[in-house]
Each structure stands twice: as structure tokens, then as C-alpha cells.
Amino acid sequence: MSETYISLDLETTGVKPENDEIIEVAAVKFQDAKVIDTFHTLVNPHVPLSHQIQELTGIRQADVDYAPPFTAIAGQLASFIAGHSLVGQRISFDVDFLSHNGIKLFTPAYDTFELAIIFLPQLSDYSLAGLAQKLAVPPFRWHRALPDALATKDVFLALLKQARELPLSVIAEMVALTLGREWSLGRLLLDIQEEKLRDLSSPVEGRAASEETDSDFLSRGQMPDEPLVPHREKRVLDINELTAFFQPQGPLACSLAGFEYRPQQIRMMQAVAEALNSGQHLLAEAGTGTGKSIAYLLPAIFYALQNSDHVVVSTNTINLQEQLITKDISDLLQALPLEPMSNDVHLRAVQVKGRRNYLCLRRHAAFRRSEGLSLDEVKLLLRLLVWLRSTTSGDKAELYFSGAEEVVWNRVCAQVDNCLAGQCSYHKRDACFLFRARRRAAGAHIIVVNHALLLSDMASNNRVLPEYKYLVIDEAHHLEEEATQQLGFKLTRDDIIDYLNRLSEPVGGQRETGFLPVFRNWLRGSPGEIGVAPAMQGPLLSTAAELSDKVKAVRTHLSRFFDVLSGFLYHHSEEQGDYERRLRLTRGVRSQPAWSEVEIAAEDLRLTLADIDSGLSKLQSRLEGPDSSGAGISGYDDLMQELAYLRHSNVELCRQIDSAVSNPKGDTIYWATGGQGSPSTLYAAPLTVSQLLDQGLFSTKDSIILTSATLSTEGTFEFIKERLGLAYVNELLVDAPFDYLRSTMIYIPQDIPEPDRPGYQQAVESALIKLCSATKGRTLVLFTSHAALRATHAPLRGPLQVEGINVLAQGIDGSPKQLLTSFRTSSKAVLLGTSSFWEGVDVVGEALSVLVIVRLPFSVPTDPIFAARSEMFEDPFNQYALPQAALRFKQGFGRLIRSKTDRGALVVLDSRIRSKPYGVAFVDSLPLCAMRFGSSQDMPQEVAAWLAAER
């Protein structure tokens, strides 16, 4: 007979059992699909319900005021549940609340979220509503306990069905991985395995269960196309023909929803086409709403197709890459009369990612066989087992990842130094995901990448992408920052620990994992296989034993080095906020007496690490030498590859330690960070990237188009050209197709003290409360630091909530994606953001009607990169700090007006924009808008009146 389960759901006043209260309980007792009994009640929490909770659940204060307290229903609930397994979405949340309220449960608990990420590994939405939609569970009123519990029951049953449909071999491997672990899922898997074994004994089921082999499903998916062979004679674009596509009655207008005739878009398309035709570079700033993606994609597509050549398109954000592939390119394909090439080749567009995004089947196979796996490792392996049966890309973007699983992924992803390439059996069978992606790129006209991959291809002399000559860099204002990051390094204690763990990691008792135990086992040979000849084993085993000792020695020196570095950091730097310390390692800092201790500790660490390399080198030469008998033994190639990887990583770690501490390079910036709870980290970045970009991109490609909505400052491109080292480049500046003078007001209150002066923070808080009340939310507030955001968030929340306005804060109230969804859909909300929100917010319509810039976005003067680069200028403020801040200001402003029908107000709470001579540079960086100067008292009404005026 089937098991009886309880599906449980609680509604609460918040997410912390120690601070928050239960307001509703529902439990549904079921067997198979049949509901046997239900338990449901509201609960009086004896605290006021926040506006947010009332809005989320629909439960009003009056609903709970006369409900029983939890103590009155606890006994009844405990007896209802007793003896049955629990089911719930994120069930540990409910179990923790019950435990905190006196109901301790010891029955197995199954989390539908956890089951779903294993058995449905490719979903984008694992919320209860998302699962219900995927599994065809009828819609309920979400965030009420009883409907949620009923839906969870149906989702659970549907997930069990998914699990039962997996082949017996997969279930058996899952059972083996979970056996003996304190994890309820293991029991469930065991039950499914037994069921399947019973079914196998039936002749009908037994036939159905004939199983697909690894080779069957790994060779799935479309085989990559043949590589493109560029035509020797270039065929130029017919710009008139392309222009006709954009006319009011043209194919784009007839085919693309919402397409508008925009002269600015046509001008940009023509400039891109001219640059491709003439083999020149182009800097093109196109304001918001120009439609710049289509303006560069259309000529790029035609150029690539008619010349059988690649055009690489690089963007900074995943969102834009996905939009290009899934929307813009596919829209254009529908709309355009694209003739196939003579040999019937149609346009091919692919997205290529860095190799770590792809699963390495060889490493995955080895990992499945490892001993001493942690629970996080097992959880990811279970998901990979299911995912491998459906993925054709092996791209991790298809999977949901928690932070811990990201670390585990590093053990199974493709890696540059650990790839057997042509020697790999998966590669030979055309099953390797990475090489399939590379081959698809070689046959593609449009190759979409991100800046990080573009730059790593540049740094590796074009070993990642097929050879290409035409490049579009969108979001080009990020190029300098991304190059700075990609062409430098970051060294943490964990990096070195990870390296040591790859050699040997104790996992309890006498057990260890890593290269050394695998190597020892290999020497002896596994049962049924021959190992290395006994006479050869002795010297190899003794080198392996020496290596084990050396790993222990490095662990000691590692701790010493990072302790000494932390001590130095503590005594020679100041807290930057968030308890973090940061210190640029200048010549002056290195001349401090205490620095010699850091150098000694670093040298000890480096030498012991180098000692490991000598041991590895000894192993390598013995195994490769003429008297080695290992070459014919299975697993030899894998071991030699791992050895090469370990040696390469060792050299790289030693180089980084040496350069950051003892032998700094004059063209590199070095710094260290650390603080309470965050271990010390060493960083290096190039002092300038212009020469590197010139050598790697600008002087080697025929045509590069750099575009963004924010490239110019005060009407010229001089700043960006100087930063990127762009000497010969065409320029185009097209305004946004919006009438800012009619739609946008800039209000600057003049009575707010300058930042950091007494009274500034209070004035900001008071102005924001009055402004957001008058505009009924609909406001995005941009800060320049998380510390400033947090300081303002608390004083704002209470008064605005009383007005029914939801205050959402980055880093406090959810992920950026969740915050943006809430902000868009909430009738009255204020969104407080920093960092990515200066450019990552695209909210069309009234939900974002007011933009507040709390402080002019100057870089922090102590930022090591900013400080080092400033020293290169005669007038660092005007030549570097000011244009950089003005560009950022313009990016922030770009959040406000997103369509022709938007109307909005920008409020700047930094009075320096008016009081300082440099303030004009910020105003001049924006399009012409209606300007108002007044008092903070009058501001709320003036802004509200502007928004209410006729559109």
C-alpha cells in the first residue's frame, strides 16, 4: 500500500523563526492523489502585520486579530502530522518555524524544490508557482497556506512520476551515491529502485526498460556545421538597399512588433555598414531608444553572409547576449529577405561561452567514481545524471546553482590545463560539449560572446574563437574595466587550498581524495587490471610520499603568509566601510619595516610550493622516461594530464606570489584587501589597458565597431579614446529619439548640505520621505555605496510603509531580479539601488517616474586602480575623475526615460552639481531637459505636479 504523506505550508510575518511569527497553517494528508484529511487555521501572531505581508498573502490584520494563538492549535497540529513523512516547498523553513514554536519533527521531510532541481534540472523558475505551471498543476491563490499545501501535494506527485521515468541504471547510481547518508531523498530513491526492479520482472515493463547507453544520449544534438571559408574577394554592403529595410513601409516595420521609423537608427546602421565596407573602426554612441542592436546586427548579418565570414559581437551582460540570440537575430531572420549563400548555407548565429561553462565529460566520469564525496557534491552529481540525458549543450546556464554548487562545478567543468583535446575519448566520439561549441562557432556567421571571453581569446592569441576580422563591441563603456579585470589576477588563500586539495585532501579517518591517492591506486592497478611493474613502484611511491609531506608543509606556510599579510593590512590601512580594509601596495608601503615579514613569509610559501613542483617533475620524468612501464596502462593519459595541470598551476601560483609581494612590475597595480570575516586577498591589474587592446584588437582586426548609450563626455569621445588607446576611429553620436525637454524635468534642491557636511544625511532622508510620499513611490534611488544605501534604508522604510509604499533595497530585500519584478508590478514602490542598478534597470512606464541620484558618482579616491591611474595625469581631477563620474551619471540618468511615452523627473540631492564649477560637466552630459532649482520643501509638490501634467 502507498505511503501517506502530509503536505505542509505556513504563512509567517517574516523569514526568521527567532524574530517572526506564524499567521496561518495548513496541512494536507494524502495517499497517492487522494486527499484523506486537511488541517487549516489562521493564527494570531500578537504583532502588527506589515503592509508587505498583507499585500503578499492577502491576510489582513482583522483576519488574524480574532484567530487562536499558535499555542492553542499546536497539539492538534502535532497529532495531525504524527507518524507521516512531510512534503513541502522549501520544507526546512516550515520545520524550523514549527520547531521554534515547540513542535519538533523527526519524520522524513521531502522538499519539492530540492526534488525539482534534481528531476527537472533545466527549469528557469523553481518557485511553487513555476513548478505548478511546468507540471500542469491547476493555478491556486498563491501565498495562502491551504492552496499552497494542496499545490505542493500535486507538484510532489508529479515529481515522483518524473523520477520513476528515469532508467533503472540512473536510479541505481543515485541510490549508490546517497547510500548511508543522512538525507531523506536516499530513502525515496531506494523505494523507486525497488518499484522499478519489481516492474522489471514483469515481461511488458521489462521490455520498456531497455536502456539507452551513455553513447546514445551523448551523441544527441545537431552536429556542428562545416567551418566557414571566407571569400577572397570582399563584397561590400549596398547601403541604400539596407536603408530601405528601415523605411516606414519596409520589411522591419511590417514584421517587427512595435518597430518605429527612427532616423537615428538609420544613421547608425549606415555608419556601421560604412565601417565594415571600408575596414575602419567606429565609435558610435546611440542614446536610449535608438534601437542600436538592430542598427549594428543588420549590416553585420548581411556582411557576414555575403562574404562567408565571421562577425563577432561582444556584450558585457548575459541579458544582452541572450536578447541578441533569442530575440533580435531571430526577429531579423523572420523579417529580412536573406538569400542563402550559393551553396545553400543559411545564416548561422551562435553564442559562445568560456570553457568553464561547459561540462567536461571526462572529468565528470572521473568525479562519479571518486570516494569521500561531500553532500553538496552528491547533490550536484544527481542533477548532472538527469541533466545529461537531455542537454545537448552541456552549458551550465541550463542549471540552477546555489553558491556551494558553483564550487563543486569547478571539479567537473572543462579547464584549459586539464583537457586532453584530441587524445580524449569523448572528443574522438564527437561528444565533448566544449569542442562541439567551438566547431559550431567555426561554422557561424555571427558569434555572440561576452567581453571576458573576447579578452581571454585576445590574451591567448586567438585560441578560443575562430580567426575573425570583424568585431562589434556593445556596452563598450565596460571594455576598460573588463580588460583591467581579465588581464590582472586575484589570489586568495582558497585558491592555494584548492590547489593543495587537488593533490591531496583528507576527508576523515585515513581517507583522502586528490591526485596522490589516485596515483597510488593506479600504480598498484585496480582488481582485474595490471599496475606498474613492482620494481618501478618503489621510487614512484616514495616520491608520492614526499609530495604528501610537502603538501602539509605548504599548508603551514600558507596560513603563516596570510596571517602576516592580514596583520600588515590591519596596521597599515583603514576600514573602508563594511569592515573591509584595502591597501594599495605602493613603493612607499613596501618600504615599511613590517613589509619584510610579509616578504619572508611569501618566499617561504613560494619555495615550498616550488618544492612540490620539483616532486611533480620527478614523477613526470619517471613516468615518461624510457624505463617507464606505465604508458600502456589504462588511466595513464588522464594521470599525465592532471600532472601537467598541477605543474602549470604551481608555476602560475608561484609567479603571482612573487610578483605581488617580492618583485612587482612597474606597469602593474597591486593591492590587498581583507577584514573582519573576509580573508586577505592579493590583486594585480594593468596600469593601462590601451596598449594591450591596441596590440590584441585594434591593430589586428579589419573593423571594430564600439557602441554604447554612454561613450561621450561633454559632446566628445576624447576621454574614451584616450582610455582605450583608440587612435584612428570614425565617430558617430546620435541622440535618443525622445523629446526630453517635454518629458523630463531635472530638479536640484539648493538647500541640502554638501555630502559629508553636517546635516547631509538627515536632509537626504527627509527629502526622500517627502518626495516618495508625494509621488506615491514610483521612484528609483541610486546610491554610490552599499553603506550609504543601508544608512538611508532604515529611516525610510517605516514612514513610507505607513503610506502603503513598499521600500525595496538591493542586498536587503532579495536578488536584483526579484527586486525589479516587485518594483515593476507593485502599485507603490521605491527601489533603492547601487552598483549594477546604475545601468541594469529597464522599467518602462509609470512604475519608474522619478529617479533620485543621491550623490555625484565620483570614484572612491582610495580605490587602488583609480588612485594609480590618477597619478598618470597632470590634472587628475579634470582629466580623469570628472569625465569618469560624468559618464556614470549619464548611465544613471538613462534609467529614467525608456520610451517615447515615458514622463519623469530626475532629482539630484548633491548640491555640488550647482555650487561647484565642475557641476556643469554633469548637466552638460545629459540631453536638454526642463531644469528647476528650488528648495527641498517645494520639491515634492513640484515633482508630483510635473508628473501629473499633460503628456
List of residues contacting ligand SF4 (CB under 6 A): 360-363, 414, 419-421, 424, 426-427, 432, 434-435
Q: In angstroms, what CA-CA distances link 427 with 218, 225, 438, 652, 799? A: 11, 16, 12, 27, 62
Distance in Å, CB of 381 to ligand SF4, minimum: 17
Distance in Å, CB of 647 to ligand SF4, minimum: 17
Q: Tell me the pairing of strands 489-492 and 668-675.
A: unpaired
Residue pointed to by grid coordinates 602539509? 552
Give the Cα separation of 475 and 451 in Å (integer): 9
CB 814 within 8 A of CB 822: yes
CB 145 within 8 A of CB 156: no
Closest CB to ligand SF4 among 218 and 909? 218
CA 947 to chain centroid, in Å, comes to 36
Give the Cα separation of 730 and 713 in Å (integer): 16
> Residue 595: how many CB atoms within 10 A of its CB?
16
Closest CB to ligand SF4 among 144 and 362? 362
Closest CB to ligand SF4 among 186 and 224? 224
CB 45 within 8 A of CB 23: yes
Distance in Å, CB of 771 to ligand SF4, minimum: 55
Q: In angstroms, what CA-CA distances link 126 with 131, 146, 378, 816? A: 6, 20, 20, 17
DSSP state of 250: S
**Vertex 871: Cα angle to 868 and 874 (nearest 5):** 155
Distance in Å, CB of 367 to ligand SF4, minimum: 12
> Who's near 595: CB < 8 A, 6+ residues apart?
568, 589
221: alpha, beta or left? (left if phi > 0; alpha if psi -120 to 50): left
Beta-strand ranges (E) seen in 21-156 are: 22-31, 34-42, 85-88, 109-111
Distance in Å, CB of 220 to ligand SF4, minimum: 15
Closest CB to ligand SF4 among 57 and 357? 357
Distance in Å, CB of 429 to ligand SF4, minimum: 10
Distance in Å, CB of 438 to ligand SF4, minimum: 10
> Residue 466: how many CB atoms within 10 A of its CB?
18
Closest CB to ligand SF4 among 142 and 367? 367
Closest CB to ligand SF4 among 424 and 523? 424
Closest CB to ligand SF4 among 94 and 642? 642
DSSP state of 662: I
Closest CB to ligand SF4 among 162 and 415? 415
* Nearest partner of 457 among 443, 471, 446, judged by Cα: 471
CB 266 within 8 A of CB 246: yes
Closest CB to ligand SF4 among 360 and 709? 360
672 bridge partner residues: 583, 682
Q: Tell me the pairing of strands 489-492 and 678-686.
A: antiparallel
Closest CB to ligand SF4 among 433 and 562? 433
DSSP conformation letters of 517-565: HHHHHHHH--TTS--S-HHHHHHHHHHHHHHHHHHHHHHHHHHHHHHHH
Give the Cα separation of 411 and 669 in Å (integer): 31
Written as one letter, the residue type at 83 is G
Distance in Å, CB of 463 to ligand SF4, minimum: 14
Distance in Å, CB of 486 to ligand SF4, minimum: 21
Distance in Å, CB of 356 to ligand SF4, minimum: 10
Distance in Å, CB of 405 to ligand SF4, minimum: 19
* Nearest partner of 714 among 852, 878, 867, 473, judged by Cα: 878
Closest CB to ligand SF4 among 17 and 224? 224
Closest CB to ligand SF4 among 641 and 849? 641
Closest CB to ligand SF4 among 223 and 229? 223
Closest CB to ligand SF4 among 246 and 433? 433
CB 256 within 8 A of CB 331: yes
Distance in Å, CB of 504 to ligand SF4, minimum: 22
Give the Cα separation of 34 and 475 in Å (integer): 55
Distance in Å, CB of 427 to ligand SF4, minimum: 4
Closest CB to ligand SF4 among 418 and 810? 418
Distance in Å, CB of 390 to ligand SF4, minimum: 18
Grid cell at residue 915 = 555650487
Distance in Å, CB of 642 to ligand SF4, minimum: 11
CB 695 within 8 A of CB 485: no
Closest CB to ligand SF4 among 360 and 585? 360
Closest CB to ligand SF4 among 239 and 416? 416
Grid cell at residue 909 = 540631492
Distance in Å, CB of 358 to ligand SF4, minimum: 7
DSSP state of 419: -
Helix (H) or strand (E) holding 311: strand 311-315
Q: For residue 199, with 0-12 CB atoms within 10 Å meaning exposed, 13-18 middle and 19 or more buried, which class applies?
A: middle
Grid cell at residue 714 = 561633454
User: What length is written for the chain?
Assistant: 951
Reduced to 3 states (helix: H, G, I; strand: E, B; else coil), residue 442 is helix
Reduced to 3 states (helix: H, G, I; strand: E, B; else coil), residue 294 is helix
Distance in Å, CB of 422 to ligand SF4, minimum: 8
CB 704 within 8 A of CB 698: yes
Closest CB to ligand SF4 among 407 and 416? 416
DSSP conformation letters of 777-836: S-EEEE-S-HHHHHHHHHHHHHHHHHTTPEEEETTTSS-HHHHHHHHHH-SSEEEEE-GG
Distance in Å, CB of 380 to ligand SF4, minimum: 17
